[in-house]
Amino acid sequence: MTLTENARAPQQDRSRDTRDLILETTLRALARVGWNATTTTVVAVESGVSRGAIQHHFPTKEALMRGVLEYMYESRNTSEFSINSEVPAGVDRFDYIAEQVLHYYASDHFKAALQMWTAAIGDPEFSEQLQLHGDRLARAVYDRVVAALNADTSDLRTHRMIQTTLDLSRGLGVADVLRDDSRRRNSVAKFWASELRSIKQLDPVALPTSDRSSAPQPLS
């Protein structure tokens, strides 16, 4: 490593931090005030980053929105709205996963995506990006749920039940946009967890040895 590179590293970190702060602020603004009200000025005021710096990172609204999509995907495991497949002790696995997925789709992540989704309708290129993002994210959530529930998706009904978990969560997410629908959502999560108990699960013994350590625990 040269001296120049050495000296540049902290500056790159700061630049990365600023970028993430802009994206996080934009995401929150989209979820809370909607597409039209999410302007550079609003993001500047809310984030404390200057309009000039925002425009340096994201020259256009399109670039900013592409950045938000990428940021959502990257932060899906680390954000407060990640779907955690490690079930806390004493908590029912099905209750926990149903609640996590339904909660995820009522988060600012989903609400921001929905704002983009409806705004993109007249814009084929942005629409295409959003669909790719949506498919990639849905696939990641699906895989997470399958792993957490040790689901045997070679069984068609089991596959459909997990797919339905995602579509149902999306529907409940829409219901939460204009009001706090969490009370109803919590009771739906309990109900849906009890429906999910009828899926077919993989026999843990049948898993390859190398996967054993990270495999979901058998249900109690």
Residues that bind a copy of itself (CB under 8 A): 32-37, 114-115, 117-122, 127, 130-131, 134, 157, 160, 163-164, 166-175, 177-179, 188, 191-192, 195
Between residues 55 and 127, which has the closer beta carbon with respect to a copy of itself? 127
Between residues 23 and 30, which has the closer beta carbon with respect to a copy of itself? 30
Distance CA 37, CA 134 (A): 23
The distance of closest approach from Cβ of residue 170 to a copy of itself in the complex, given in angstroms and rounded to an integer, is: 3
The distance of closest approach from Cβ of residue 72 to a copy of itself in the complex, given in angstroms and rounded to an integer, is: 16
Total Cβ atoms within 10 A of residue 208: 7
Structure tokens at 115: 């704002």
Between residues 33 and 215, which has the closer beta carbon with respect to a copy of itself? 33
- Bridge partners of residue 151, in order along the sequence: 201
Distance CA 165, CA 46 (A): 35
Between residues 53 and 174, which has the closer beta carbon with respect to a copy of itself? 174
Is residue 35 a contact partner of residue 118, using CB atoms and an 8 Å limit? Answer: yes
Structure tokens at 78: 């680390």
Between residues 87 and 196, which has the closer beta carbon with respect to a copy of itself? 196
Tokens 């592409």 correspond to 66
Distance CA 53, CA 90 (A): 48
